[in-house]
Structure 1
Amino acid sequence: MRYSLRQLEVFLAAAHFENITRAAESLSMSQSAASSSLRDIEQQFDIQLFDRVGKRLQLNELGRVLRPRAEALLEQAQAFERDLNQHQDLGLLKVGATLTIGNYLAVEMMASFMTDHAGADVQLKVANTETIARMVENYELDVGLIEGELQHPDLDVMQWREDDLVVFCAPNHPLATKGQLSDEDLLEAQWVVREYGSGTRQAFDRAMQGLLGDMHIRHELQHTEAIKRAVEAGLGIGCLSEIALRDAFRRGSLVPLDVPQRNFHRRFYIILHKQKFRGPGINLWLKHCEAYTVR
């Protein structure tokens, strides 16, 4: 661009005061700097904007034509600067969530967020922990909500809320009436579990440490609902988040199994890229997540 906004300010101030000294004072400039700015824009375009009558500057025909255009352009620039300084428009927020969070928490969170913040729009991507982490790393998502533990040099990983996995089976399964399951019961059972790369599988493997090599993993499925349907159909027993099983337990289509010797506790996490600019949308979303920390 061959002119600056400062030159437009000098031009308009000079047109208003018809005096370069007073124009310079209004802009907190020296007289020489204001004179140089006005002279530069005229020389740059080989034009003359004022007729000089002594110390008085009087707009000529070209100056009168350009003045309203310069005023409009400067007003737009000032409005843009105000937006940069006080920007509060939320716009589109791209959120990623792992399957349990995406299916059982994130939709409600999206709806309440957009209700509370007019003009906000949330786009949700649901995938496993590895996929969500990769998309946050590549700036394809603004923020991720994940179930798996994660260490990554480019990502901030913040603890969010507590969760527990629950072992479960169909009501007619032989283990359904047993009070507590022993490790021997766990080894003898057929299992339907999540796939590797998911946070739920990570927590399950950790809870079953020492048994994994001898367990009968019959099916590894990518979707929580598919696992629930498979267990209902008698294909084995499963282990999923308590959040994903509440309705099924309430209906009686699935029943929880007590495994007191194994630790199924875990945490959900919020992840962001360390270099990601945290505008008002992200900051409000993080605050919104606080309302969902209670189990």
Structure 2
Amino acid sequence: MNYTLHQLQVFLKVAELKSITKASEALHLSQPAVSIQLKNLQEQFEIPLIEVIGRQVYVTEFGREIAEASQKIVEQVHAINFKTMSYRDQLVGHLNISIVSTGKYVMPYFLSGFVNKHEGVELNMDVTNKLKVLDSLEQNHVDFALVSTIPSTFNVNKIELMPNSLFWIGNCDKVFKNKTNNLTALKKLPFIFREHGSATRHAMEAYMKSNDIKNTKRLELTSNEAVKQAVIAGLGFSMMPIIGIRKELSDQDLQIIPMKGTPITTTWNLVWLKSKRLSPVAEAFVKYISNSKTELINQHFSWYQDFLADKN
């Protein structure tokens, strides 16, 4: 037997995703490269690891046993690497963060410098809806969460990162003249909502209630990207964080509808439970964010600051 760690890692990804195409995308390899690694591994076993029927990949019973053993080998190699880095006084361990879906436009810029500096840190970032983010935080499944509003029932520490500003948006098929007339027009338009529990939905419904907007035509979608595409397609109008539609505004696929009382601005907060005992990696990340956030915002979000200043 002369299989390599790389061959085992490729096989594990194929076994996990049941697809050579998806495995190649996840591993940032070409499909031929993945197929060659699989072939080289398979040649060392008389019993098939996988079967390809049509375009579907099936892992054999023997393949599942090899995958289980391979996973243990890969984990042991990671453990060895971690121990080596630890002896070199390098920061090693896992950093677990759960973020709301619109946070994907923000959080990566606050993570990349830290993760690239510390090769021994493995990042797990879960992008999901707000209810699941808060549940992960409450159940102590993550070190940190990124949210724009914090329930009063949560006892947390926080670092304020940057503003989260919401505007009414639509595609560019309709002309909106002025803020007063726009409110009248808005009352007659079909709306697209995020799912229940979303902070954006809560802000949108609060605005509608305070301005006596009662509209029964509604479509509910579970992601910011889905709402964005639905608005572009002309299915309705919505309220969205401006940070997620920079390109669409530039391309004139979307427009901001000027309305009194907008933008509605909250703050992106990095939060963690006060009762949580932070790992050395988590403590180092808190220190990094505290010391670097102003520089990171100026570096990556100057356009955003300029845009808000112009709209305000």
TM-score range, shorter chain: 0.5 to 0.7
Mapped contact 1:170–1:234 kept (Cα < 8 A): yes
Mapped contact 2:192–2:221 kept (Cα < 8 A): yes
Structure 1 residues 222 and 156: alpha-carbon distance in aligned structure 2, compared to 1, 3 A threshold:
same
How many angstroms does 1:150 deviate by?
1.7
Structure 1 residues 194 and 288: alpha-carbon distance in aligned structure 2, compared to 1, 3 A threshold:
farther
CA separation in 1, counterparts of 2:229 and 2:238?
10
CA separation in 2, counterparts of 1:263 and 1:254?
16
CA separation in 2, counterparts of 1:219 and 1:90?
45
Q: Quote the residue 1:136 is aligned against.
A: 137
How many angstroms does 1:134 deviate by?
1.1
Secondary structure of 2:157's aligned partner: strand
Structure 1 residues 184 and 177: alpha-carbon distance in aligned structure 2, compared to 1, 3 A threshold:
closer
1:18-57 map, 5 Å: none
Q: Quote the residue 1:204 is aligned against.
A: 204
CA separation in 1, counterparts of 2:200 and 2:218?
17
How many angstroms does 1:262 deviate by?
4.2
How many angstroms does 1:88 deviate by?
5.9
How many angstroms does 1:283 deviate by?
2.6
Structure 1 residues 150 and 293: alpha-carbon distance in aligned structure 2, compared to 1, 3 A threshold:
farther
The gaps in structure 2 that reach 5 residues or longer are: 1-82, 299-304, 306-312
Q: Which shows bigger deviation, 258-267 or 224-233?
A: 258-267
Q: Quote the residue 1:280 is aligned against.
A: 280
1:267 aligns with 2:267: yes
Mapped contact 2:171–2:254 kept (Cα < 8 A): yes
Q: Quote the residue 2:153 is aligned against.
A: 152
1:164-243 map, 5 Å: 164-172=165-173, 174=174, 176-180=175-179, 181-211=181-211, 214-243=214-243
Identity over aligned pairs, percent: 21
* Equivalent AA in structure 1 for residue 147 of structure 2: I
How many angstroms does 1:217 deviate by?
4.8
Q: Quote the residue 1:113 is aligned against.
A: 114
CA separation in 2, counterparts of 1:123 and 1:210?
40
How many angstroms does 1:168 deviate by?
1.0
The gaps in structure 1 that reach 5 residues or longer are: 1-79
Mapped contact 1:189–1:216 kept (Cα < 8 A): no
Output one character per residue of 1:34-84: Cα deviation in whole Å (capped at 9) or x when no partner: xxxxxxxxxxxxxxxxxxxxxxxxxxxxxxxxxxxxxxxxxxxxxx9xx8x
CA separation in 2, counterparts of 1:153 and 1:252?
40
Q: Which shows bigger deviation, 227-236 or 206-215?
A: 206-215
CA separation in 1, counterparts of 2:89 and 2:201?
41
Secondary structure of 1:209's aligned partner: helix
CA separation in 2, counterparts of 1:259 and 1:109?
32
Q: Quote the residue 2:250 is aligned against.
A: 250
Output one character per residue of 1:126-170: Cα deviation in whole Å (capped at 9) or x when no partner: 112221111111111110001233222443355332121011111
Output one character per residue of 1:243-295: Cα deviation in whole Å (capped at 9) or x when no partner: 01111101111111111234511112222112111233223323444245564
TM-score if structure 1 supplies the norm length?
Answer: 0.63
* Equivalent AA in structure 2 for residue 124 of structure 1: M
Please give the root-mean-square deviation of Cα atoms over the aligned residues, in Å: 2.7
How many angstroms does 1:105 deviate by?
1.8
CA separation in 1, counterparts of 2:89 and 2:260?
52
Find the structure with the greater CA-based Rg: 1
* Equivalent AA in structure 1 for residue 125 of structure 2: L
How many angstroms does 1:177 deviate by?
4.1
CA separation in 2, counterparts of 1:263 and 1:171?
19
**Residue number among 96, 99, 124 corresponding to 2:98 in the alignment:** 96
CA separation in 2, counterparts of 1:142 and 1:245?
29
